[in-house]
Amino acid sequence: MRDVGGGATHQLSEEILAGYAAGTLPEAFSAVVATQASICAETRERLRELEVIGGALFELGGSAEMRLGALEATMAKIAAVKAAPPVAPGPEAAPDPVLPKPLRAYVGGGIDAVKWRPIGMGAKQAILHETTDSSLRLLQIPAGCELPDHGHQGVEMTLVLQGAFLDGADRYARGDVDLADEETEHRPIADVSEDCVCLVACEGRLKFSGLLPKLAQPFLRI
């Protein structure tokens, strides 16, 4: 994971970026990639290269014959489509120091528009997107506080948007990504400088190893 040189020090893996370029990642994980790419120019360039690879595979790949009259049908669709009227920019159009555009679209505005819900010990969360197999949420951890110890059912991807957190010996700041899987039992602690805001995508639900958080899990949806 560690990748020194320009921008964030904890970068997205090749596999995840390729999944984004190929369009095969679940939406929650795509959102993390798009958000990280909004912060990190190096990721944007890596994604561009992966799209070039996708373009070459696409062009060299097989072809399936179009039906008779497909071109005419397409020209008819083109003639039928009227130019969409310009849409007035919503509150998500305004720049925000914490939330890049992909997240402002979910929130419907900047960091001040986030609808936080307390999850105990001063921490707060806002669920942005949830399906049966994955979820996307914003987490806010007060400066110097700890996120409850937890394991995972699947892959969990955490991107720092504000402040920083420490996970073992590693420090993660804005733009850094921490990837954990089923085997990882980690205990992130927010840096003392300021409250830490993270974007978290995970497969399945989080499970906590402490007794109390486990009981609270169904209510907190974390």
Partner 1 sequence: MLTEISSVPAPRFAALRSFHTARGGILAIDDHDSPAPDAPAEDTGPETARGRVRRAELGTSDAAAGIEAAIWAGHVAAVAEAGDHAAFAALFAHFAPRVKAFLMRGGANEAQAEECAQDVMVTVWRKAELFDPARATVATWIFTIARNRRIDVVRKENRPEPEPEDLSWGPEAEPGPAEQVATRQESALLRAAMSRLPKAQKDLIERAYFGDLSHSEISRATGLPLGTIKSRIRLALERLRREMKMGD
Give residues in contact with partner 1 (CB under 8 A): 13-15, 18-19, 21-24, 26-27, 30-31, 33-35, 37-38, 43-44, 46-67, 70-71, 73-75, 77-78, 81, 100-102, 105
Compare residues 111 and 216 and give the one whose CB is closer to partner 1: 111
Which CB atom, from 94 or from 192, has the smaller least distance to partner 1? 94
The nearest distance, CB 109 to partner 1, in angstroms, is 15
Least separation in angstroms between residue 98's CB and partner 1 is 13
Q: Considering beta carbons, is residue 27 or 146 the nearer one to partner 1?
A: 27
Shortest reach from residue 132's CB to partner 1, in Å: 13
Instruction: Find the shortest distance in angstroms from Cβ 32 to partner 1.
Output: 9
* Cα atoms in the 13 Å half-sphere on the side-chain side of 38: 20
